Amino acid sequence: MKRLVLVASLAVLLATSAMGQAKPVDLEQVLNLLDSKSANFKNVQTEFVWDQYQKVVNDHDIQKGVMYFRRAGSSVEMAADVTYPAPKYVLFTEKDGLQVYLPKADEVTSYKAGKNRGDFEAYLTLGFGGRGHDLAKSFDLRYAGAENVDGKATYKIELVPKAQKVRNMFSHIRIWIDPQTGMSVKQEFVEGGGDYRIATYTSIQVNRPLPRDAFKLKTTGRTKYISPN
């Protein structure tokens, strides 16, 4: 009888484990998932924590806030409202490129995307509304299996930039995808010399109404604008 109970318990355990295993189980299926989610993507709102680590000084620069993405025609716009450690607004649009507003200095620094707009968008849409198979245009891809992030099953993809100029900045990138929403819950950008950037995303809301001023810099009439060469 004890043997039967043991066998039955093992059968239940194995069945439960099998049902809990994350799928899809290969790269093609993960990319198909991203493609399908991209087809209906309109916008997303998420809380974030950015961790920029510099090994030489053993320092972590932590920033927290709320990020917004939305599809605007054939492009994707992004806005980040940084609330910690100091207020900062980051905005990327096709028209104005990348803008960073520091309220304390009342200063906006603008970076025109120009011919590099596609590169900007390729990184902005890593796991946020971009098509999965489009990733193969800019990266060599590998599915690294299922992995838990904060107790939730995710699909982990490793990306190696094809362009040398990008590999000079990031040797490789890892993203963790929520199998339900198709959105990125974690990203890791590995730089040279042991430096890295990790972004984690929580409270992800897909295709819900966004704040009306989410994609507007909260500037003043005295704001100074700077455009570096």
- Indicate whether 164 belongs to any domain: yes
Q: What is the pLDDT of residue 5?
A: 35
Q: What is the pLDDT of residue 229?
A: 64
Instruction: Tell me the per-residue pLDDT of 118-146, one tens digit each, with 9 for 90 and over.
Output: 666 667 678 898 899 999 998 999 999 99
Q: What is the pLDDT of residue 112?
A: 81
Q: What is the pLDDT of residue 72?
A: 77
- Indicate whether 96 belongs to any domain: yes
Q: What is the pLDDT of residue 13?
A: 34
**Using 50, 70 and 90 to split pLDDT, how confident is the model at 4?**
very low
Inform me whether the pLDDT recorded for 58 exceeds 60. yes
- Indicate whether 9 belongs to any domain: no
- Indicate whether 7 belongs to any domain: no
- Indicate whether 5 belongs to any domain: no
Instruction: Tell me the per-residue pLDDT of 13-52, one tens digit each, with 9 for 90 and over.
Output: 333 333 344 454 699 999 999 999 999 999 999 999 999 9
- Indicate whether 15 belongs to any domain: no
User: CA 90, CA 107: separation in Å to the nearest integer?
Assistant: 12
Structure tokens at 62: 């932590």
What's the whole-model pTM score? 0.83
- Indicate whether 207 belongs to any domain: yes
User: How much is the average pLDDT of 60-86?
Assistant: 92
Inform me whether the pLDDT recorded for 79 exceeds 90. yes
CATH number where 217 lies: 2.50.20.10
Q: Please count the structural domains in the chain.
A: 1
Q: What is the mean pLDDT of the chain?
A: 86
User: How much is the average pLDDT of 102-126?
Assistant: 79
What values do phi and psi take at 31, rounded to 5?
Answer: -65, -35
Domain that holds residue 32: 24-226
CB atoms within 10 A of CB 173: 20
Q: What is the CA radius of gyration of the chain?
A: 20
- Indicate whether 214 belongs to any domain: yes
Place of tokens 């590099």: 116
Half-sphere exposure of 126 (CA within 13 A, CB side): 26
- Interstrand relation of 75-84 and 59-72 (parallel, antiparallel or unpaired): antiparallel
Inform me whether the pLDDT recorded for 101 exceeds 80. yes
Contacts of 218-223 spanning 24+ positions with Cβ under 8 A: 218/89, 218/101, 218/103, 219/101, 219/106, 219/108, 220/106, 222/106, 223/101, 223/106, 223/107, 223/108
Q: What is the pLDDT of residue 119?
A: 62
**Among 19-23, 91-95, 140-144, 187-191, where is mean pLDDT lowest?**
19-23
